[in-house]
Amino acid sequence: MNESRNLKIYNTLSGKKEKFEPIVEGHVGMYVCGPTVYNDAHLGNCRTYVSFDIIHRYFIHLGYKVRYVRNITDVGHLTDDGEDRMAKGSKLAQLEPMEVAQKYTLGFHEMMRILNTLPPSIEPRATGHIPEQIEMVQQILDNGLAYESNGSVYFNVPKFVAEQPGVYGSVSGRVIDDLYAETRELKNQDEKAHPADFAIWMKARPQDLMVWNSPWSVGFPGWHLECSAMSTKYLGKTFDIHGGGNDLKFPHHENEVAQNHGACSCSPARVWMHTNMLLLNNKKMSKSDGNTISPSELFSGDSPHTSKAYSPMVVRFFMLMAHYRSTLDITDEALLAAEKGYKKLMETNELLQNLPVNPANFDGSENEHDRAILSMIDDAYQGMDDDFNTAMVIASLNEMGSYVHKLANQQLPADAIAPWVLDKMKATFNTFIFEILGLQNDADAAGNNQVVEGLMNLVLDMRSQARTQKDWATSDKIRDALAAIGIQVKDGKDGVSWSKQ
């Protein structure tokens, strides 16, 4: 456990970077709001999850045991016109809401895999936690901070503000009067005692498809409630970190905090982390505005916004070139620059790993080069410790890279650097690139594809030979064995071809 590190995290609540002190030594509990699975994730969503993947990875690297909870919102996230997003998605596609949820959950998982993010430790679904949410509504009612109106239950914001002052507004950093003004135009106002009150249970309308029994009505939970209920269930009443995109600060996170306080008078998370938005044409990338690029369009080169295809790892690298709290505008030029930077980093690492370490020639004294490299290694760690500043990390790796190139082209003699320093630089590069930044080498993947092609050609040649010799047993055995691992062989007019199912 590398606890000596002085990891600082920007806490939205205090508006400052704070030294990270886990609640339980050696453990980190982190909850991140997951996707609403009513259509495909766009690159903006991916940016947020890649940012939290880096945070997850760094905690693991430091030796913490991490419980990373990221939910799936599969019910109740309303659009501005009051329609359930899941129901809207299913009506458009004429599918069961659960079919929609399943389809886009699988798509989301696939995208997370392609971008090489580590899976969360728990991925709870809102629909799988209705009893927990009903229980929380009851606790808030019992504490006198919610009221029932026509079968729906509303959180009483003014009463909460009066009883637990200083909490409402602490996430979004806005004053109560502004928050009140913002909620005045919302729908369903007639049932509420105050415009700022928000639903924690909603009575179903005839068109609602996903409904459950509750003490108040047949209905469904409010969107904010699921995260309060599921974070409490899996991480406890107060845990280390809660995260999500900037756009969730209000109302989602503000209301989440209010609900947790309303249920148990305690703050859910000590540290709130918010990622900044990915922009397209200088505007937030967003599903509802149609201002999006789908990741698959970008990977295939079919996007009208880009001149060519970019690999998932180039896209990941592009995201890491900016700090997670800065906005990031996606443009063709920026992606081209990222591609160049990514390739350079991978090539530098190849060069570095192949540099010979030659202790025999070393005279034992540490010199200015050694000290410079050790200080760059330290800078890379300081970058991560400074609120996960991946841009700083990449800058330090590039600086080390200039040493690698000098050594590789013999501008510097091979023994100019102490063997242990060279070893440390090799290990640091590998650790940062693959383990912490979570990049993969596209050249390796291309190499693997070549190996697979070669092996398949060999196997299919052997099968053809067997068939020529009427050795049907061998040819069937090859076909069946390939089928068992999902490879289908087709004998066509133009010869044999194969595909993966």
List residues near ligand AMP by CB under 6 A. 33, 35-36, 44-45, 47-48, 244-245, 247-248, 275, 277-278, 284-286
Q: Which stretch binds Zn ion (CB under 5 A): 107-115, 212-220, 222-230, 339-347?
A: 222-230
Task: Confirm or reject binding of residue 146 to Zn ion (CB under 5 A).
Answer: no
47 contact, one of ligand AMP, Zn ion, none, CB 5-8 Å limit per kind: ligand AMP
Contacts of 500 (CB under 8 A, 6+ apart): 486, 487, 488
3-state helix, strand, coil in the chain (%, to 5): 50, 15, 35
Q: Which is nearer to ligand AMP, 229 or 277 (CB)?
A: 277
221 contact, one of Zn ion, ligand AMP, none, CB 5-8 Å limit per kind: none
Task: Confirm or reject binding of residue 46 to Zn ion (CB under 5 A).
Answer: no
Q: Which is nearer to ligand AMP, 49 or 239 (CB)?
A: 49
Cα separations in angstroms, 403 against 340, 359, 430: 19, 18, 16
Q: Which is nearer to Zn ion, 33 or 460 (CB)?
A: 33
Minimal distance in Å, beta carbon 57 to Zn ion? 22
260 contact, one of ligand AMP, Zn ion, none, CB 5-8 Å limit per kind: none
The CA distance from 439 to 29, in Å, is 24
For residue 249, the SS3 value is: helix
Q: Which stretch binds Zn ion (CB under 5 A): 129-137, 174-182, 221-229, 459-467?
A: 221-229
Where does 301-331 have alpha helices with state H?
312-320
Task: Confirm or reject binding of residue 33 to Zn ion (CB under 5 A).
Answer: yes
Q: Which is nearer to Zn ion, 269 or 417 (CB)?
A: 269
Interface size with Zn ion, residues (CB under 5 A): 2
227 contact, one of ligand AMP, Zn ion, none, CB 5-8 Å limit per kind: Zn ion
Minimal distance in Å, beta carbon 245 to ligand AMP? 2
The CA distance from 48 to 278, in Å, is 9
Question: Is 251:259 a contact under the CB 8 Å cutoff?
Answer: no
Minimal distance in Å, beta carbon 46 to ligand AMP? 8
120 contact, one of Zn ion, ligand AMP, none, CB 5-8 Å limit per kind: none
Q: Which is nearer to ligand AMP, 47 or 192 (CB)?
A: 47
Question: Site residues for Zn ion, window 269-308 (CB under 5 A)?
Answer: none
DSSP 354-381: HSPP-GGG--S---HHHHHHHHHHHHHH
Q: Which stretch binds Zn ion (CB under 5 A): 25-33, 53-61, 144-152, 207-215?
A: 25-33
For residue 122, the SS3 value is: strand
The CA distance from 276 to 323, in Å, is 9
Please report which helix (H) or strand (E) contains residue 252, including its range: none
45 contact, one of ligand AMP, Zn ion, none, CB 5-8 Å limit per kind: ligand AMP
SS in 3 state form for 376-444?
Answer: HHHHHHHHHHECCCHHHHHHHHHHHHHHHHHHHCCCCCHHHCCHHHHHHHHHHHHHHHHHHCCCCCHHH
**Residues 68-104 as b or e (16 or more Cβ within 10 Å = b):** bbbbbbbbbbbeeeeebbbbbbbeeeeeebbebbebb
The CA distance from 481 to 469, in Å, is 20
Q: Which is nearer to ligand AMP, 142 or 289 (CB)?
A: 289
List the one residue from 227, 235, 417, 436 that touches Zn ion (CB under 5 A).
227
Q: Which is nearer to ligand AMP, 233 or 284 (CB)?
A: 284
Q: Give the footprint of Zn ion on this chain (CB under 5 A).
A: 33, 227
